Amino acid sequence: MSVNDLEKYDLCVIGCGPGGFAAAMRALDLGKHVCIIEGGEIGGSGVMWGALAAKTMWELAKDYDIAAKVDRGYRASGLAADYQAVRNTVIQAVQEKQNQMLSQIQAFAPQCWNGPGSLTLKRGWGAFLSRDQVEVTDNDGHKEEISADFFLISTGSKPNDFPDIRVDQKRIINSDGILNFEKFPQRLMIIGAGISGCEYATIFSNFRQTKVYLVDREKQIIPFEDEDISRFVSDNLTQNNVDIFHSAGLKRIIKHKEHLEMVLDFADSRSQVFEVDAALISIGRTPNLAGLSLDRAGIEPNAQGYLETDANCCIRENIYAAGDVVRHPALVNLAEMESRYAVKHMFGLDQRPIYYSNMSTVMFFKPQVAAVGLNEKMCRKKKIPYKVAYYSNALLSRAIAMRAITGFVKIIVSDDEDQMILGMRAAGPQASNTIMSIATLMDQGKGIKDALKTTHPHPTMSEGIQECLRLLLDKSIYKSRAFPNQIKIRSWRPDG
């Protein structure tokens, strides 16, 4: 059978988000014939509604905020922000990435490519007929059956619903409806102070067109991080004119013609009513598994609604899963890594186990915060003795030159002779780039003496890492005695 007549594929990928796309390309590397099924947006939430769209909006908001500053020796006149213009720029960025993905798929389509392997895109929704066959239904209702040796489920996730609150994607929205506004809302209440909620609070407050209220049930925002990180993010949001309500929950929303009436309940048994123009529900995400007919393939999600896989990303026999449908952090880089790993296992390539511990993340706040490895909460829970050093960006020449001294580097090491690097948190300009030097060393199992073999260029933000490491060896250039608020070091042991 020729490539053009293929009815059976080596691999069928259900979902063309970042993970599914990465899997298809890895299988193509191995000379496999791949069918990609996607009924929605190419790139999935990672491109259209999530990482790329949100971060494009964050970059625009950051630039606007910098342009609006009046403490740098210049003042921009006639500065204005138009939501439709911002929206169009975001959509342009999204379409640019989608077109790149589509162009690559087309370049290796059977009718265009005679080399080993191929990529075939089926626009429609996949549902299992058996463990080796799926049915694809397009938007016009036409059906087609696809057979494959292996299947990868990478259908991503969708925003969680709030009980008894209907999202209309007009005034009451989730992250999927963020581009539906016709103009900047004058007053916006965000329900949920996790990473996504805090990112959108940063975006809208940076544009300086919207009064933002941020509501969360926890006592601190970003509750999984250490208190100093949460406090740092909270303080900066407050300075950006965001009102934060801790230990509060949304009781109900009453729609009026000109506004929404938001009723909040607080932990101390009081209630408070707010009038806003729009509400953003940001209370986590849930796997996209509806319509897949998983039972026909002998698969059932767990009690939390996720697919359970083994160490090789395999659910059972020839069916694998990766990304948001598996209960790991909903990160693009994690979905890509798991998807590529699954393909390698399907086709018998040697590989080392996936190592989740040193997966670095970036939180796009003001300023951005990057994280890798353990934090202090995790170390204490695991009863790991540790030392931690904190070095403020205020002492870095590059940060001073940028007039952006808000931020720090915080490094945690084992409290023993080896002083192995356990984790790092960084906040400030370029934090997402500087953290990778430590992530690489952690993957290699290096200690701080190995890390200090490299001299960082000057002036750069990465010098904060260098000085923080020197601080742990009592060799830093600037000393905590002179700058007790900017340089700190402490230790913790389970025995006190």
Q: What is the pLDDT along the chain (496 residues), one digit of tens a residue?
A: 344 444 799 999 999 999 999 999 999 999 999 999 999 999 998 898 888 999 999 999 999 999 998 888 888 888 999 999 999 999 999 999 999 999 999 999 999 998 899 999 999 999 999 999 999 999 999 999 999 999 999 999 999 999 989 999 999 999 999 999 999 999 999 999 999 999 999 999 999 999 999 999 999 999 899 999 999 999 999 999 999 999 999 999 999 999 999 999 999 889 999 999 999 999 999 999 999 999 999 999 999 999 999 999 999 999 999 999 998 778 898 999 999 999 999 999 987 888 887 888 899 999 999 999 999 999 999 999 999 999 999 999 999 999 999 999 999 999 999 899 999 999 999 898 888 888 888 888 888 888 888 888 899 998 999 999 999 999 999 999 999 999 999 999 998 7
CATH 3.40.50.2300 fits 367-492, yes or no: no
Catalytic pick among 142, 328, 345, 458: 458
Q: Is the dihedral of CA 120, 121, 122, 127 positive or negative?
A: positive
50 is in an annotated binding site: no
55 is in an annotated binding site: yes
124 is in an annotated binding site: no
268 is in an annotated binding site: no
Which residues are registered as beta bridge partners of 157?
287
And the tokens for 61?
């908001």
172 is in an annotated binding site: no
195 is in an annotated binding site: yes
CATH homologous superfamily for 172-283? Answer: FAD/NAD(P)-binding domain (3.50.50.60)
112 is in an annotated binding site: no
Distance (Å, whole) CA 199 – CA 448: 32
What pTM value is reported for the model?
0.93
225 is in an annotated binding site: no
107 is in an annotated binding site: no
For residue 426, the surrounding DSSP H or E stretch is strand 421-427
First to last CA, the chain: 71
- 280, 200 in Cβ contact below 8 A? yes
- Residue spans of the domains in the chain: they are 3-49+88-158+286-346, 172-283, 367-492
Q: Hey, which CATH number is domain 3-49+88-158+286-346, 3.30.465.10, 3.50.50.60, 3.40.190.80, 1.10.10.10?
A: 3.50.50.60
Asked whether this chain's domains 3-49+88-158+286-346 and 367-492 adopt the same fold, the reply is no
- Based on the residue annotation, tell me whether 328 is a catalytic residue of this protein: no
DSSP-assigned letters across all residues of 321-378: E-GGGSSS---HHHHHHHHHHHHHHHTT---PPP--TT--EEE-SSS-EEEEE--HHH
69 is in an annotated binding site: no
